[in-house]
Amino acid sequence: MSEESDPRDIRTALDAAIDAFNEEGFGVPNREDAIATDDDWKTQLTKACRLLDAVARIDGEGHYTAVIELCFGATERSIEAYALAVGGDELDDFHDHTHCYDRAADLGLLSRTATRELWGLYDDNRTDSYYGGKRPTEKQADSMYALSRSVHQYVTDQIREGGVCVCNQK
């Protein structure tokens, strides 16, 4: 396919998406209200809250792939929030999926054994769920949801500044 022969619908949608992320040509952006923006750790923590809220909305509907993806994201955002709040990390430090697990162990949030197992869970299963040919199961989705909620609650309890988590607000 030549460079100029991309389907028009795709080209139009791609250009619009690029403009939206560059915040060009759309006036004042309508941002997600529940995401805190006054500090990076608060942003990551409230992003985790919103991911968990999305899971709660689709839980029980058979969207196992989506639940697993969102739960891995919520777990990582929660751990990143802790590292940013307590460890003095910068948001740019989190350039891959391994760093947050390393920091959780380095900062004593979780044991090295637990962080190694979390990383293994991610590496072995999230990758297969995303790229592999296996079909995710209800048990996998339910287990990931329970795990991500547990990690998020634990992290929220460990951060000294309360009132940031928006999981129980409607």
Look up the CATH number of the domain holding residue 50.
Answer: 1.20.120.330
Residue 130 has pLDDT above 70, yes or no: no
Structural contact between residues 141 and 67, judged by C-beta atoms closer than 8 angstroms? yes
pLDDT in the model for residue 114: 97
Q: Is residue 26 one of the residues assigned to a domain?
A: no
Structural contact between residues 100 and 79, judged by C-beta atoms closer than 8 angstroms? yes
68-88 as b/e: b if 16+ CB within 10 A: bbbbbbbbbbbbbbbbbbbbe
Residue 1 has pLDDT above 60, yes or no: no
More confident residue, 1 or 65: 65
More confident residue, 134 or 49: 49
Q: Is residue 143 one of the residues assigned to a domain?
A: yes
11-30 as b/e: b if 16+ CB within 10 A: eeeeeeeeeeeeeeeeeeee
Q: In the chain, count of helices (H) and strands (E)?
A: 7, 0
How far apart are alpha carbons 110 and 17 in whole angstroms?
38
Structural domain including 145 reads 34-158
How far apart are alpha carbons 55 and 58 in whole angstroms?
5
Kindly state the DSSP code that residue 98 receives in the 8-state scheme.
S
Structural contact between residues 42 and 23, judged by C-beta atoms closer than 8 angstroms? no
Lowest-confidence pick of 91-95, 126-130, 144-148: 126-130
How far apart are alpha carbons 63 and 55 in whole angstroms?
9
The structural domain count of the chain equals 1
Average pLDDT over residues 119-147: 85
pLDDT in the model for residue 23: 82
Q: Is residue 141 one of the residues assigned to a domain?
A: yes
Q: Is residue 23 one of the residues assigned to a domain?
A: no
Q: Is residue 54 one of the residues assigned to a domain?
A: yes
**pTM value?**
0.88
pLDDT in the model for residue 3: 62
Q: Is residue 76 one of the residues assigned to a domain?
A: yes
pLDDT tens digits, one per residue of 58-91:
998 999 999 999 999 999 999 999 999 999 999 9
pLDDT in the model for residue 128: 67
